[in-house]
A and B are shown apart, each in its own frame.
Chain A
Amino acid sequence: MKFLTECKADATADLVYRVCPMHLLEPAEFLKDLQQGQVLEILTDYDGALEDIPAWCAKHGQEFIGICEHEDEDVFKLYIKKVH
């Protein structure tokens, strides 16, 4: 897992409190609207996403950049770069 201290994103998918497997369905929709090379930020409170999102990126040929986690926040921030 790549941990980041900061990452800029071009769009954010706020999936906090949205039940599993929304974290695997919504990013694909958001990526459709992004250009190649742009970054999608995923906000989620579902810890299963920490394994699922990198695996989803590997399967679908997108680049998983890493995760940003702040102690004072209850959400995980995961970053994906659109490859195609």
Chain B
Amino acid sequence: MKRVYLDHAAATPVRPEVLAAMLPYFRERFGNPSAVYDLGAEIKEVIEAERAKVARLIGAPAEHIIFTSCGAEANNLAVKGAALAHLKQGKHVIVSAIEHHSVLNSARYLEKFHDFEVTFLRVNKFGQVEAERLAKALTPGTVLVSIQQASNEIGTIQRLKELADLCREHGVLFHTDAVATAGYIPIDVRELDVDLLSLNGPALGGPKGIGALYFRRGLRLVPQIHSGIQESGRRGGTENVPGIVGLGVAAELAQEELAAKATHLKTLRDRLVKGVTDQISSAIYTGHPDERLPGHASFCFEGIEGEALVFMLNAKGICANTGSACASKALKVSPVLCAIGISPEVAQGSLVFTLSPDNSEEDIDYLLTELPLAVEKLRSFSPVWRKKMAAVSGGER
């Protein structure tokens, strides 16, 4: 059976160049970078070279990159580490209501165990945080604001610069989760003027089990993994050397290919969106229509359940997701869709496609053949849909 993979926000295959670069570090070059003999010291140099590659992708100095085990750990270190290091400044943090669980739950941890006050900031119908709303939420005790650069669930890109500038004016630290954007849109931490930025390996075509956090010069962070002096004493634990090499190579490739990748993905996405909205009635395109990730298309199909749709598509060899990768198994309506004003009934029918350069026009056309059939079939035995149709035809009479 043909397989079409359209869930790259959940996982990506490791690129062959990345895997080839990683392999020697499992066997031949296995040394511990903290060791002083050559087998270890050489590895330390490798780590620093890879750190520089990751830094270049986001316009940062290499010494301001901390390697972590994943994007979620980078977010934990940013939110908890920065907030706890600045207790004297205050005990109030602000996060948007549509953040990844690693940010939301880090904020809740601060609230529960450290008596912080947390503001979960509302977003507009496109999923964007408005600067006026953020300005109103800031208090003299606000220590940190964390707002993702783009949502993996609805694809919307935030107007980050104006939010970061606002925080700078008020002397408040600003963190952004760039897991969804790194390698997809250009990022320059100096231009954005953010204090902290998280990214991860898989989103770049690198391996799972590796992420990174950028921190501004002079910023104090309370370590969240307490161990030795790895990562300059900011994140303990023996380094995941193959992962770091994989992330470095993936970051280098992502930087080289950024423009061409974005053009290719946007072309595919526009074809997908046009096909879906032309062929399927009552399909709501969620997120911002323009200010969104190039390879991201998300919809809500009225009258059906997204999970059933995922199963139907799976039977045809198509992999897509309903809600965010982490929320889809939670069996509840996506808080992101609720936050942008989608009713719980309609939010049940959410479907997210995240594309990669491996996808082709044929993949999209195959989806556009199978998806309308699946939606039609599910609607044919949906009481909710029948009720809606009866109301429509009743209204026409």
Binding site for B on A (CB under 8 A): 14-19, 21-22, 25, 74
Contacts and interface: CB of A to CB of B under 8 A. Distances in A.
Contacts of A21: 229
B16 interface: no
Q: Chain A binding site: helix, strand, loop or mixed by DSSP?
A: loop
Given A17-B85, A19-B236, A25 B220 contact: no
A41 to B, nearest CB: 14
Interface string B270-300: 0000000000000000000000000000000
Interface of B: 85, 88, 218, 220-223, 226-229, 232-234, 236
A21 B229 CA distance: 7
Contacts of B88: 74
Nearest to B84: A17
A22 B220 contact: no
A18 B218 contact: no
A15 B220 CA distance: 9
Contact of A22 (B222, B226, B233): B233
B220 A17 contact: yes
Contacts of B226: 19
Nearest to A75: B220
A17 B229 contact: no
Given A17-B234, A22-B229, A25-B229, 14 more contacts: A14-B218, A15-B233, A16-B85, A16-B220, A17-B220, A18-B234, A19-B223, A19-B226, A19-B228, A19-B229, A19-B236, A21-B229, A22-B233, A74-B88
A18 B85 contact: no
10 smallest CB-CB distances across A and B, nearest first, come from A18-B233, A22-B233, A19-B233, A17-B222, A16-B220, A22-B229, A17-B220, A17-B85, A19-B229, A17-B221
Nearest to B228: A19
Nearest to B88: A74
- Kindly name the residue among A14, A18, A21, A22 whose own CB sees the greatest number of chain B CB atoms within 10 A: A18
B385 to A, nearest CB: 56
Nearest to B226: A19
Contacts of A18: 229, 232-234
Nearest to A16: B220
Q: Which of A14, A19, A21 has the most CB of B within 10 A?
A: A19
Contacts of B220: 14, 16-17
